[in-house]
A and B are shown apart, each in its own frame.
Chain A
Amino acid sequence: MGVILEDLEQEVKAIHADQNDLNVVGKRIKRIEALAKALGTARYAADLKRDDMLIGKALFAKHPHALIKKIDTSRAEELEGVIAVMTAKDLPGRNGYGILIPDKPVIAEKKVKYQGDPVALVAAVNEEIAKKALDLIEVEYAVLPALDDPREAMKDDAVLIHENHPAADKGNILTEVSLTRGDVDKAFAEADIIIENLYETPMVDHSYLEPDVCIAEPDPITGGLLLIAPAQFVHATKRSLAPVFNLPPNKVRVLSPVVGAGYGGKEDSCLDVCSIAGVLALRTKKTVYFELTREEIFRNTGKRHATYIKHRLAATREGKVTAIDVETILDKGAYVSMGGLREPTHAVTQRTVMYAGGAYAIPNARAKSYSVFTNHPYSCAMRGFGAPQAYFAVESQMDELARKLEMDPIELRLKNIVRDGDRTIFGQVMKKSRGLGLEECIAKVKERMEWEKPLERTAGSRKRGRGFSTFLYGTGVPLPFEGASCYATFQTDGTVSIAVSSTEMGQGLLTAFTQIAAETLGVDFDNVVVNISDTDASPDAGPTVASRSTTVVGNAIINGCTQLKNRIMDFASRELKADSRDIDIKEGKVFIVGKPETAVPLGSMVAKAFVNQVPLSATGVWYPPRPTFSGEDGQGDPMHAYAFGAQGVEIEVDTETGEIDIVKFVLACDVGKAINPVNVEQQMEGGAAMGIGWSLMEEIDMSNGVMKNDSFKNYPIPSIKDVPEMDLIIVEHPNELGPFGAKGIGEPPTVPTAPAIRNALYDALGIKFNKIPFTPQRVIEEIKKYENKNS
């Protein structure tokens, strides 16, 4: 291993040789918004609430699946202080919205399909009255059986949740995505070893701290609407909701102040709150404030798809994986959200197919995923977007294979990982030129885990075990419109304004974008200001999702800044009487290269350019190579670049209580280039902590469509004591198309944790855990079962 590491180090040094002259990018710069957030002075949407706003409230479905027979709002309307009561018949426009398809009603009219469907809305002068008004609304329901299990819901005789869904394939099956590569049946027939297992992963909540709120303000001049809400995709919010308001999109302005985390959830939940606040504001012609309670956030807003995965894997005796055959059933919940439609918007369903074979070059593959409606909260985007589920299965399978072969699990992985020129199961060729640091990640994790050293196994009732896993994870969305635009502007003093529609939700995008702009223009970090998330102030940068912003939007910023820089260099060449190719801008000065005495402060050069008719604003754009992915066979090049990683954990299991302690946690991620290493480490920590929650304790408990644990009292997420100290390793194999070589890092760290812990559990106890989460209860019950079986 030592030799491999040394070789790798040489290679990496060569890769980075040309990046030594960076001034801002790659530096550990403190978050721009950190101080204001720490002091509590940063203003989130709810902080903009004023006393003169009306308060909106919604009456949500009493039953998760029922026909609405009658609604009587007359008593609520009579209550003093109530300004408007709305039911579906009072809506101004289309009664439906959604990022992919408008199948979710603003107010349910004939039927409710889950607990979060609104049946009536109220606007009142204060919260007390609004709440009272809700109590006075009478709704008569005819209750229908609620569907909890997608495996049942997909059967032909199941009750239909949507009678006429505009996109459903068949019955309650929304969509089916398939992947085929090679000759799977032949490979299984010829296999030395076949591993087959069922895996289950739970529905979980994003648990973002900031609640979903919207302030909706009618614009008296245009007749349009301003919507202020935490959002992950302001332009899509505008586009999806304009028909709801019966307004053209140019009269809907969506603005998202700093966001208290989203993790994918606020791509959809902002539509939920904006639609309600918006129609109430149009109805009352007053500004309306609408906020979901935490219980409503639990019951109403999107969740991570629960999955049921049947995974078969074929291999040779030597440990070469020859084929996989995978079937995944996803709990879609009541509405499409980001669950996926037919080509090209398969979304989460597509990712479960795409990642079914992990980071391995497997020649034969068949994967089929079904997204099935149930009476649950709609499943939506959540950090990892289907990948954590797929990786839980495939990385557990790899562990089983290593066990069967009595081979070291890392050695087995090294025999199968994708290398330069290899194809993934979705047929994409992995290229070194786009960054391929998987092997380095594996080698470094192995070293830091002291993998070669025998493990101290048992101490009384406590047993130790080690687990390992790897991943590859695409940067960006595999959609034909993938790309980003922004505005870059020089102020006349040489300071810079960047306007992007991306969202700062704690991931550090403001800081990373500022670094990218400052580096590109040769100005100080402090002389750049990035304005975010206002549909009227910036063009569409695409969603703040899919680990895409630093890379895709970052490139658009480079493009805009380069245009500005070229204009100033061109102007300066005339001023300094030199060829523009000999001019450069660095550290806020314009100069002829090699002649420091010619340096002029950038501000004065920009001011001079301004009065000489040089335009100081530019639209920056960037598009990756057009993504492809065939709905027929699941083949294509869905993303232009991939992040890679490896994780090792050592755990200690208390065999008397079932409690798990993570005693060692090593995570290496190949991010191409860490624009800001602090940000990258924080993403790694946060993502891994989320993975720990998913692995050990989080699980939404649904029974007959009713959520049993709709508060943090009954839904534990990791406390700081549950998150171990992490050994984080940043690996940088540059992506030739990324800004300064960068690839995405937002979601990947969530991916490898659950299978690594699962594999460690198996190592410690010799018991298979194929269902997440590994709660003390589940662990102790399995131990007792195992003991009974073996006694």
Chain B
Amino acid sequence: MKTEFFKPATLSEALALLDKYQEKAVIVNGGTDIVIKITQREVNPEAIIYIQGIAELKEIKEVNGDLVLGGAVTYTEVENSSLCKKYDGLIQAVSEIGSPPIRNMATPAGNIANAAPAADCNVMLLALKAEVVLASSGGERSANIQDIFAGPFKTVIKPNELIKEIRIPQLTANTHTSFIKMTRRKAQDIARVSVGVSLTTEGSVCRDIKIALGAINKFPVRAYTLEEAMIGKEVERGVAEIKEIFPPEATPRKSYKRLVTNVIIERAIRKAYRKAAAGGEHVG
């Protein structure tokens, strides 16, 4: 079987190709995961649609205060973008993915579509309540990132859809974000446990918090139980209280992850809180 290769220059051209080939097409964005699957013949597409040539997907912009990452933006572009700077957790999550050559190629959108349980950026996007804008020839729809994942390497994205952009809501005042992962080695490794946090404080009180867990379940999940236990309390007290509560939302297969998850959560919260304390007016 011959595989056709396409490099569309516009989104509509890409969507037309998707319409034509449907599930027989594979979208190659950065290609760092999917190309391995193609060469290992785990997937045997009739058409490869390479979308890095689509200029309209390469933009990072602010729309009504929200941060918008185009569907073909790479991690390196996120790392270097002045607009992304204030999202500390996002920068922390993307800056240690793989190696510089990987980050030069790989993309947040590709990461979402690939849906690896341990994908760092997806965990942080979940803590940031990102929205995924899906385009097809029939129009656009938008989905909350937590509704995108259906299982390990499975999403609800339809065969004729393409991730046009990722929208990250504007951070409310006094909100700070952080990301921490545990790995087997200090670089170029897949997370064993990862935590993304978005913490809103008022003085030393936690007004709102989102805690996302990665590499523990089949896809990233929020630790709602711990979030609820934190909200409205002094951050320090909240942290002390949730220290011993293993988040019921997490269902790790390996007992080792059970031993370290709470530690990583605590450290991620403290990391965001340190930033809040350093930058906020209510320090003291």
Contact = CB atoms under 8 A, between A and B. Distances in A.
A721 B185 contact: yes
B253 interface: no
A658 B184 contact: no
A480 interface: no
Max chain B Cβ within 10 angstroms of own Cβ: one of A656, A720, A780: A656
Contact of B182 (A657, A721, A722, A784): A657
A696 to B, nearest CB: 8
Contact of B185 (A657, A722, A784): A722
Interface residues of A, number: 19
A57 B177 CA distance: 51
Interface string A707-737: 0000001001111111000000000000000
Contacts of B187: 719-722
B259 A722 contact: no
A697 interface: yes
A780 B189 CA distance: 19
Nearest to B186: A721
Nearest to B264: A657
A404 to B, nearest CB: 31
Which secondary structure dominates where chain A touches chain B?
loop
Given A657-B182, A775-B184, A776-B182, A719 B189 contact: yes
Contacts of B182: 657, 659, 776
Contacts of B192: 776
Which range contains the number of B residues in contact with the other chain?
10 to 19
Contacts of B260: 656-658, 776, 780
Given A776-B182, A777-B256, A780-B256, A657 B263 contact: yes
A697 B186 CA distance: 11
Interface string A759-781: 00000000000000001110011
B57 interface: no
A716 B184 CA distance: 7
Interface string B162-206: 000000000000000000001011111110100000000000000
A446 to B, nearest CB: 29
A722 B256 contact: no
B186 A719 contact: yes
Contacts of A776: 182, 184, 192, 256, 260
Nearest to B262: A656
Nearest to B183: A716
Given A656-B263, A657-B263, A718 B185 contact: yes
Contact of B190 (A697, A713, A719): A713
B191 to A, nearest CB: 12
B185 A697 contact: yes
Contact of A716 (B185, B259, B263, B264): B185
A713 B192 CA distance: 12
A680 B263 CA distance: 42
Contacts of A717: 185
Given A657-B264, A713-B190, A780 B185 contact: no
Nearest to B259: A780
Interface in A642-677: 656-659
B46 to A, nearest CB: 17
Interface in B223-273: 256, 259-260, 263-264
A775 B192 CA distance: 12
A291 to B, nearest CB: 14
A722 B189 CA distance: 12
A775 to B, nearest CB: 7
B259 to A, nearest CB: 5
A329 to B, nearest CB: 28
Contacts of B188: 719
A312 B192 CA distance: 38
B172 to A, nearest CB: 31
5 contacts: A719-B185, A721-B185, A780-B259, A781-B259, A784-B259
Interface of B: 182, 184-190, 192, 256, 259-260, 263-264
Closest 8 pairs between A and B when the two form their complex, measured CB to CB = A721-B186, A719-B187, A656-B263, A777-B256, A721-B187, A716-B184, A716-B185, A722-B186
Given A656-B260, A720-B187, A722-B185, 11 more contacts: A656-B263, A657-B182, A658-B259, A697-B184, A713-B190, A719-B185, A721-B186, A722-B186, A777-B256, A781-B256, A781-B259
